[in-house]
Amino acid sequence: MMIKGLQDLKKTFDRLDSKDIYVGSLTAKHLQHFMMIDLLERGVACIPFCLSQLLSGYKTAQALVLKQWMHPLTRVITRRIELLHTISLYNKNEVGNVVTKEDQKDCGHGIRLWDNIENLYSVLGLEESSYPFVLQPLIQNFTDVRAIIVGDYKEAYTRENPYNFRCNISAGGKSRAYELSSEEIDFCEKIMTRGKFIYAHIDLMVLDNGIIYLSEIALNGGLKGAKADRQGLDQKKERLLEKTALELRGTT
């Protein structure tokens, strides 16, 4: 049986087994993780895949699972002692400004710039509620690229804001079309494969020396600067979801 939509899932949840497929986002507040674990334990397939849904919502999970594509000094800080140890690491590597990223905050709201890691520790050292978060060196002189990949559809554009290091278009920034190189497409596809994303909005940092780093990835994201419109892109995603579900059903 193929179930579509959260309401139908809730009605049939306790009766599902490995012959069933759920198509849709598991957005049930407070229950998402428990539902995912239970469905996976029973062998119920979920499209989009559970891993991609979790990664899409948690920057800390991305930094854990997709770390190999991020700046090598990226760290997930879950408690004070980890922050203290990272001070030594960053000072050894002569890191100056640092950036923190908070979970479940979009549009740059959870991204904060700090003069140095000692200032960060002075503020957060006594605040246990501030953990966990992602910690990275501030990267400068790079091109901020948003790539949208939905099946055969691939589009990218840059985001530029000379007055805000977040390169946020909604906060006064501008965009321009960007042509992804074969190397950048391959980079994105490897990330999507590892995170089990069948489609994605991927933020890249392309350095002046050609090095590429992953910034963030999500199943859905803003389209300011994109050629695609929301309705058309959602239709492409829906068709890809159904195609993937049918392919999965054919193998079960």
Q: Kindly report, residue by residue over 89-125, the tens digit of the pLDDT.
A: 999 999 999 999 999 877 667 889 999 999 999 988 6
Of 16, 10, 25, 17, residue with least CA distance to 238? 25
- Supply φ then ψ for residue 138, to 5 degrees: -70, 125
Element at 137 (helix H, strand E): strand 133-137
pLDDT at residue 43, as a whole number: 94
> CB–CB of 207/89 below 8 Å?
no
Q: Is the N-terminal amide bond of 137 cis, ω within 30° of 0?
A: no
Give buried/exposed letters for 143-152 (b at 16+ CB in 10 A, else e): ebbbbbbbee
* Confidence band for 249, pLDDT divided at 50, 70 and 90: confident
* Single-letter amino acid, residue 25: S
Question: pLDDT tens, 60-86?
Answer: 999 999 999 999 999 999 999 999 999
Of the two residues 16 and 248, the one the predictor is more confident about is: 16
Using CA atoms, how far apart are residues 2 and 4, in angstroms rounded to an integer?
Answer: 7
Q: Which domains occur in the chain, in start order?
A: 2-47 (no CATH), 72-137 (3.30.1490), 141-240 (3.30.470.20)
Using CA atoms, how far apart are residues 32 and 113, in angstroms rounded to an integer?
Answer: 31
Using CA atoms, how far apart are residues 127 and 80, in angstroms rounded to an integer?
Answer: 9
In this predicted structure, the answer to whether residue 156 has a pLDDT above a threshold of 70 is: yes
- Supply φ then ψ for residue 202, to 5 degrees: -120, 125
Question: pLDDT tens, 206-241?
Answer: 999 999 999 999 999 888 888 999 999 999 999 999
pLDDT at residue 251, as a whole number: 62
What percentage of the chain exceeds 70 in pLDDT? 94
In this predicted structure, the answer to whether residue 188 has a pLDDT above a threshold of 90 is: yes
pLDDT at residue 130, as a whole number: 82
pLDDT at residue 126, as a whole number: 64
Report residue 48 as tokens: 């989009």
* Confidence band for 172, pLDDT divided at 50, 70 and 90: low
In this predicted structure, the answer to whether residue 171 has a pLDDT above a threshold of 70 is: no
Using CA atoms, how far apart are residues 149 and 199, in angstroms rounded to an integer?
Answer: 6
Question: pLDDT tens, 18-57?
Answer: 999 999 998 877 788 999 999 999 999 999 999 999 999 8
